[in-house]
Structure 1
């Protein structure tokens, strides 16, 4: 570590608009004390504007705050009274409206108040960083750069760092370290070109889609059906995304392209269509005004028909023949069929891909440092599962390049610019290789960043064309799990099942891995190669036994499940669960039984068995009964009630911090903001426990339960809910059984039991529900539709 440690003690955000307030929210999620500035209010409390924005954060869905009480750590401020506070900030982020003149005025106002080492950054989505730097005094320019967050900042992984000509290299590295580890972001360093990398290409893609939809006569709702998840893109697809972003914001970014890219061969495309201008003029700005390209009337959805200039019923889907082409797994065949089809929807899709490929091929040299930056920017900033260059390369670089070249020359593309020579090289296989990604300006391959913070990413974001060998060295593998080591004394276990569900193979494999770890390793980490952590028990694998009424074999599986949870707790080595995404049901139960959890902030944890008409049968009821007893100050029932409600209502924590509040995670568990650092941190935790002379906890001989009087008290409330029609008869049956199990069954209040006592009750109740026809209906419905049935 040659550099001085960069410590961020406090950050200020200038501008309490949508982005500013949400950036402030994510900073306090990460325990960074934050000031939120805005203009002084004309009357009353001078901080009224910032206060209103902070209050607004609590109402937004999905929540920008990872825990409800975090808003109090954002300190409201105004430019009249509080500029002196900026000297103590290590980073100041400007996030006011996208106007050069307003930003310049603000810079001149705040610059004298910045500390000598304060980093000053702008969250502009497309204005020139060098032009903005000119409004800063000379001595601030070395500490000035662009830091462009994507909306919503808590959930979008991308942040673009855009240096100005004088930006100090060490400052940029320090900022990147902070963004990657503290805020959990994926950083792309961009050039100072209009709209930078993600918006330049992402917005071009939307404009090309709009233009081709008009050319081929495709309705907006059909476009959204075809350009969403079917292409590995967000559900909001194209037009709904514009509504969500705000039609005015979208038009603004387009206007920036129109004004600042006069020589772009696609310049004619950079204008808002007439129908869009009309919507904006009428104040229909999308989701924020509840009216845009789409409108909702009661339960019915309507969509704009630009030709008629009026709304028509929405919900039309793409043609089956075209959807079948999109299902083809082999990209080369899929593109060949799309291009060869005479169906307008297929021609439309091919045209959209062709125009984006044409654009990124033509502009790679001037927009980005290499092709990897383009793909990550679009994946992390626009939510595509595969980047545009990766898509092209997977479909066969040369064939696609040849098609684009032919169609450009035939005047079929949106612009007549020829592809650059490098694209058409006769031996080119693509842009991503094991040695690096293509940099068109330097005609070379660039490797990944060597910044120290990336050494913590043992399994960084994958990119097509890079080496894809599985991580580490396999120690043991069966159909359910792979156990491997990355050259230290920790055994890492990953599940191989779909959604990482837990069936007999996983139970078998995990037990075998614990045996191996006890014999040869210092610790064991449960970590999945991608989200989710686990969707819970594999009900599908129980189906045959279920159909045949082979209850003994299912009882055996549940017994094995419980025993595996208990082994995670009492084995001779420390066990650490590393979670991200969903950890439901049995997955949550495994998490609750490990010695330590390292949870990515975006971990959604819950005991959700009630949704399929069951109760937690892998130790979840027991664990909450035990924790309630340990926390109770004399009154076990009082401590138990919230835990009971969490199970009975299938409550899911919407962040790792909320999971700590509900009790799925302990306060001592670690929360990590960058999911790519999970494995590194989890292994360090396991090693730390081992180095501290780990011994398994002593088996708990006895703990007090709330008994039948506790169960009666809970059931009294359930009766009220049933009579008020808040829950169904079957919900009442399930919840009553959960109450019986969690209070220890037919015993006096305060009776002491051991863990096995509750585990046995739990298993018996689980089997009882499994034999109930209403539960069987719920399970069947979940397996066929993926949705819970309320019966």
Structure 2
């Protein structure tokens, strides 16, 4: 029987429950959100208030605002019977076993046989919850542990009981992956499951080393953040966000319920942490924790750091370690880790001690919390935002060499690691024919990772490299499809990347069905290389700047009119030039979490890589019979003029960046490249014919230009736009209207590209534009001038 989820019930509307409901609604699934009945006339006040608070929270828990319409609310007293119409019931009430069991007893009165029933508990043993329930209930019951916020943290831990039907487990693993966009990790029913068990151990290990090595909070934050592939929130900021009481609760739970844990004593709560709980300094939820935000004497916001010796807050201190300074010169995270562990300063000692503890700990957790080592890596990457997992980190610094150093330092590895090394296996992971395999301790062999066919990781195809330059790598990913990626900072697009795109299309046209363009890492592309534009502009090298803009335009148009399909698979940031490339692709297969837009107005420019032309073209095509010609144009103009960026791929359709019926959203970003590859093959095999350059674009000239200029002047007089904002917006309007034409006229794409390029170049000569560009280069943000 094929199981279909048409409607979901979420029981409990607290922080997690309301946001889980929002995430399901965001994927298009109707939700019934229930909670306890409120006193007074409005019995649904509790659930309504909770949902309203979730919707108002930032970042948004839904992909688009309309998604909230899919959530119906109610209460347990009057509406629990409605779960009979749901295919999946998710319990998210308070973390008390007796309350959960009482609720499940009521649920069984109304639940249809065969309906999925799961709990989002993070600490209560899953198997204890079904005591007294029917065989059908137990068969369809499972733990489904989402991480907060559910939309953004990709981990979904699936925890079956001995009674759970394997079909249910398999379905939840697949559904969580494909529909909810999650990294689904199969867990054993052990305390804290996988991610919290290892994640809280890591935090407690850092606490211990901080005391041992005499380090401060600001120093630890510098050592445990992005420099080692961890989130900016590092250690103490993460604790503040999660809640210090929650951290203490998980640590105590492991200490009390894991008598066989060799590192049990590390979970003992330090006295200073106990004091913070007593003081109710629990982090963001109480307004202060390890950090506290205040208004200083000048009225500006300032973040203070807690001194754990005096328990007073003081100004943040920027730490200096020789190892960290040296690490800034290294791009590759594996190479950076290797260097940091070899550091001869206090930072190096910290990294060695921390990683020795971490590696030893995860090795001893197999098979206790997982039979497969890759599940631990997946859980830490998806749940705690680690760029690479602990076993991947161990591979990076050398398994055998590090294991020997660990043993000498008093941190022996698990026996299975010794056996692996003795058998001649030197790494936990290996790659064969573009497919990744992980070492399996049970069989002492390497096994293919599940989903290898669906998850294409371009860096795994190094032995199928077709071409490269300093920034780009072009791979043959099989089935006569090429894939291009580049490795510039933030995915910025400069001469090397543009050349790479042109060369890739040329090679695809000769011997392949088509080309996929995608990047790995945090973002697809933050746009054009601003530093290059600034350098050429400040030196008044306008001929070279003109050539650079022409190259960008020619490249996007080359993608548009290639003789084979070109499919772009963006994720994360896809701004400016990254957005323009998507606008010209045959198809976009965007990860759900894609933030895209034409943002050039913020730096005092207009989109110069074909983006302005393309929006003018699409506005002309959107004019409906009987509708004023300038409405679509005004909408498109405002999208660029206000530098709107979509907060999701779904919202990019509303902004007119992605096309309904052509472009698609891929919930799980790990599947986007495989989906793009499938799209290339499908387009080619269905008899792909390259589009013809357009010469029939109807631009409105003066009739629309006057209205747009009047609007700009109004914004300027109302102080909503600076003088320079207005200047840039006027040039944008000029291009999108086709120039100062006396009447509506049919023009070509090249005509609009020439206008776009000319006005882009003229803005490069403006002092205030140069100031904005310089500000972005120095601070990452444009100055308001």
Would you say same fold, with TM above 0.5? Answer: yes
Shift of 1:523: 3.6
Question: Is 1:402–1:424's contact at 8 Å kept on the other side of the alignment?
Answer: no
Question: Is 2:127–2:161's contact at 8 Å kept on the other side of the alignment?
Answer: yes
**Residue 189 (1) aligns with residue 186 (2):** yes
The equivalent residue for 1:40 is 37
Shift of 1:128: 0.9
The equivalent residue for 2:124 is 127
**Residue 756 (1) aligns with residue 747 (2):** no
Which segment is superposed worse, 277-286 or 619-628? 277-286
Question: Is 1:376–1:387's contact at 8 Å kept on the other side of the alignment?
Answer: yes
The equivalent residue for 1:465 is none
Question: Is 1:331–1:395's contact at 8 Å kept on the other side of the alignment?
Answer: no
CA distance in structure 2 between the aligned counterparts of 1:623 and 1:640, rounded to whole angstroms: 11
Deviations 1:145-175 (A, max 9, x none): 1111112111112111111111111211111
Question: Is 2:193–2:369's contact at 8 Å kept on the other side of the alignment?
Answer: yes
Deviations 1:361-397 (A, max 9, x none): 3333312212212122111111111222222332233
**What is the SS of the residue equivalent to 2:484?**
strand
The equivalent residue for 1:689 is 683
The equivalent residue for 2:492 is 501
Deviations 1:513-560 (A, max 9, x none): 334444444443322344422222234455665465332232123223
Shift of 1:591: 0.8
Which segment is superposed worse, 659-668 or 356-365? 356-365
Label 1:662 to 1:755 Cα distance change in 2 as closer, same or farther (>3 A).
same
CA distance in structure 1 between the aligned counterparts of 2:307 and 2:95, rounded to whole angstroms: 31
The equivalent residue for 1:106 is 103
**Residue 470 (1) aligns with residue 475 (2):** no
Label 1:14 to 1:617 Cα distance change in 2 as closer, same or farther (>3 A).
same
Label 1:395 to 1:229 Cα distance change in 2 as closer, same or farther (>3 A).
same
Question: Is 1:328–1:334's contact at 8 Å kept on the other side of the alignment?
Answer: no
The equivalent residue for 2:298 is none
Question: Is 1:133–1:141's contact at 8 Å kept on the other side of the alignment?
Answer: yes
1:658 aligned to 646, 651, 661, which one?
651
1:730 aligned to 715, 724, 730, which one?
724
Shift of 1:778: 2.5
CA distance in structure 1 between the aligned counterparts of 2:485 and 2:682, rounded to whole angstroms: 21
The equivalent residue for 1:320 is 321
The equivalent residue for 2:144 is 147
Label 1:312 to 1:433 Cα distance change in 2 as closer, same or farther (>3 A).
same
**Residue 290 (1) aligns with residue 272 (2):** no
Question: Is 1:580–1:600's contact at 8 Å kept on the other side of the alignment?
Answer: yes
Question: Is 1:370–1:446's contact at 8 Å kept on the other side of the alignment?
Answer: no
Question: Is 1:57–1:71's contact at 8 Å kept on the other side of the alignment?
Answer: no
2:87 aligned to 90, 100, 113, which one?
90
The equivalent residue for 2:669 is 675
Question: Is 1:111–1:140's contact at 8 Å kept on the other side of the alignment?
Answer: yes
Shift of 1:16: 0.8
Label 1:356 to 1:42 Cα distance change in 2 as closer, same or farther (>3 A).
same
Question: Is 2:461–2:476's contact at 8 Å kept on the other side of the alignment?
Answer: no
**What is the SS of the residue equivalent to 2:368?**
helix
Label 1:30 to 1:222 Cα distance change in 2 as closer, same or farther (>3 A).
same
CA distance in structure 2 between the aligned counterparts of 1:307 and 1:726, rounded to whole angstroms: 48
Shift of 1:318: 2.4
- 1:40-439 alignment runs, 5 A limit: 40-298=37-295, 299-313=301-315, 315-324=316-325, 326-327=327-328, 330=335, 334=339, 337-338=342-343, 340-341=344-345, 343=346, 346-408=348-410, 419-424=413-418, 427=422, 429-434=426-431, 436-439=437-440
The equivalent residue for 2:602 is 611
Question: Is 1:600–1:671's contact at 8 Å kept on the other side of the alignment?
Answer: yes
CA distance in structure 2 between the aligned counterparts of 1:481 and 1:430, rounded to whole angstroms: 27
Label 1:752 to 1:399 Cα distance change in 2 as closer, same or farther (>3 A).
closer
Question: Is 1:601–1:657's contact at 8 Å kept on the other side of the alignment?
Answer: yes
**What is the SS of the residue equivalent to 2:190?**
coil
Label 1:363 to 1:693 Cα distance change in 2 as closer, same or farther (>3 A).
closer
Which segment is superposed worse, 237-246 or 137-146? 137-146
CA distance in structure 2 between the aligned counterparts of 1:36 and 1:724, rounded to whole angstroms: 44
Label 1:333 to 1:501 Cα distance change in 2 as closer, same or farther (>3 A).
closer
**Residue 624 (1) aligns with residue 612 (2):** no
Which segment is superposed worse, 483-492 or 354-363? 483-492
2:710 aligned to 706, 713, 716, which one?
716
The equivalent residue for 2:591 is 600
**Residue 643 (1) aligns with residue 636 (2):** yes
Label 1:153 to 1:496 Cα distance change in 2 as closer, same or farther (>3 A).
same
Question: Is 2:113–2:136's contact at 8 Å kept on the other side of the alignment?
Answer: no
1:458 aligned to 456, 459, 464, which one?
456
Shift of 1:615: 0.8
Question: Is 2:6–2:30's contact at 8 Å kept on the other side of the alignment?
Answer: yes
Which segment is superposed worse, 485-494 or 71-80? 485-494
Shift of 1:746: 0.8
Label 1:524 to 1:94 Cα distance change in 2 as closer, same or farther (>3 A).
same
The equivalent residue for 1:533 is 524
Label 1:354 to 1:688 Cα distance change in 2 as closer, same or farther (>3 A).
closer
**What is the SS of the residue equivalent to 1:398?**
helix
Label 1:18 to 1:359 Cα distance change in 2 as closer, same or farther (>3 A).
same
Structure 2's unaligned 5+ residue stretches are 296-300
Question: Is 2:600–2:606's contact at 8 Å kept on the other side of the alignment?
Answer: yes
Shift of 1:236: 0.7
**Residue 7 (1) aligns with residue 4 (2):** yes
Question: Is 2:534–2:770's contact at 8 Å kept on the other side of the alignment?
Answer: no
CA distance in structure 1 between the aligned counterparts of 2:665 and 2:557, rounded to whole angstroms: 24
Shift of 1:58: 2.1
- What count of residue pairs does the alignment treat as equivalent? 766
**Residue 580 (1) aligns with residue 581 (2):** no
**What is the SS of the residue equivalent to 1:140?**
helix
1:775 aligned to 769, 772, 782, which one?
769
**What is the SS of the residue equivalent to 2:3?**
coil
**What is the SS of the residue equivalent to 1:58?**
helix
Compute the RMSD of aligned alpha carbons. 2.7
The equivalent residue for 2:543 is 552
**What is the SS of the residue equivalent to 1:196?**
coil
